[in-house]
Amino acid sequence: MNISEPIRLLLFLAGIMAFVGFNAAYLVWVERKGAARFQRRPGPTEVGFAGLLQPIADALKLLSKQVIVPPTSDAILFRLAPVLVMSPALMCLAVIPFGETLVARNINIGLVMVFAFGSINVMAIMLGGWASRNKYAVISAARVVSQDVAYEIPMLLVVITLLMVTGTMDLNQIVRQQAGWFWHWNLFKLTANPLMPVTFVIFYICMLAETNRAPFDMAEAESELVAGAFTEYAGMGFGVFFMAEYANIVVGCSVATVLFLGGWQSPIGVWSGPWWFLLKMYFLVFSVIWIRWTFPRTQFYGLLNLSWKILIPVSLFTLVLSSIMLKLF
């Protein structure tokens, strides 16, 4: 591997973009196929083998549609929002270690970068909703902001707990610490903090809420707000929001895998590699899809009360517990 750094970076970025694009397209297929199986129906079957070409057909259809910008909307922000919603997902993936050396840019504050860019997604949806100047979209935008502010706090508290255990923000370093059998994963580091599984559950719930996935899909809530912030978007404008949703799920699940499930480390101690990372990540992605097609939507105030009354106190408690354990042992 004797290629110069700029070319390597360029290749990696192209790879990440392809990865995100491929995932966004084929997670839609997985979601549709999975939902169909949960609902005892075949799902897409017509386009290609087992409907495998369906995402491409969908993309072609969306691309061929006119991008309508409503005359009353704020045209610049309206066009900016889909761009803004997609780019942070790409940025975040640049620091995620897919394998020991398979990382676009290994920086020592990778975790900070992920969360810094991760919250831009919220702003993008808010902008989209606000710029549409549609009442449903504005309600949705207001919901997204209050929801994500509420869930950012327990998520970061949990991450701080984890940082106390790992002592580093370098994502690759965090993965290396979890080498060996699966009980070395941060998820099972009970000696460092007996509540580690709880922190994972909190992280997972917050990730669902941050990515606006059911049962916390307040932003879209199609039976209440038509399509929420995306109501006025047509064609690929809508398509980009749609892809960004999956891209953000991939990012969220990747971070969860790296932080709690040992990243590319093998659970049995041998044959570590990127395949383990992908396996774990896709398992989490599948669970996200699974949850969506199983549960009804929560109430909006129920959602906020869950965050402020349960998740934040519990995550604060784990934080305190962690620091006590750190001091004692």
Partner 1 sequence: MSIPSFIPHEKMSDETFVLNLGPQHPATHGVLRVKLTMDGEYIARAEPVPGYIHRMHEKMGENRTYAQFLPNTSRIDYLSAMHYTHAFVGAVERAARITVPPRAEYVRVITSELNRISSHLVWFGAFLLDLGGFTPLLYAFDDREKILDLLEGITGSRLTYCYYRFGGLYNDVDADFLKGTRDFTAYMRPRLDMYRALVTDNIILRKRLESIGPISAEMCRKYGATGPVIRGSGVAYDVRRIEPYSVYPEFQFDIPVYPEGDCMARYLVRMEEIVQSLRIIDQALDQLPEGPVMAEKVPRVIKLPPGDYCYAVEAARGRFAVRIVSDNKDIPYRVKLRAPSFSNLSLYEEASQGMMLPDALALMGSLDLVIPDIDR
Site for partner 1, rule CB under 8 A: 35, 38-41, 135-136, 139, 142-143, 214-215, 217, 221-224, 226, 293-302, 304-305, 308-309
As a whole number of angstroms, the distance between CA 164 and CA 80 comes to 38
State the residue for tokens 């998520």: 155
C-beta of 189: minimal distance to partner 1 in Å?
30
Nearer Cβ to partner 1, position 114 or 205?
A: 205
Q: Other CB atoms closer than 10 Å to residue 315's CB: what's the count? A: 26
Paired strand residues for 181: 268
What are the tokens at 176?
Answer: 């290396």
Burial label, 164 (beta-carbon count in 10 A; 0-12, 13-18, 19+): middle
Nearer Cβ to partner 1, position 40 or 327?
A: 40
C-beta of 136: minimal distance to partner 1 in Å?
8
Nearer Cβ to partner 1, position 229 or 236?
A: 229
Nearer Cβ to partner 1, position 38 or 182?
A: 38
Nearer Cβ to partner 1, position 192 or 226?
A: 226
Beta strands in the chain (DSSP E): none
First to last CA, the chain: 43
C-beta of 118: minimal distance to partner 1 in Å?
24
Buried residues in 32-45 as b, exposed as e (16+ CB within 10 A): bbbebeeeeeebbe
C-beta of 218: minimal distance to partner 1 in Å?
9
C-beta of 72: minimal distance to partner 1 in Å?
15
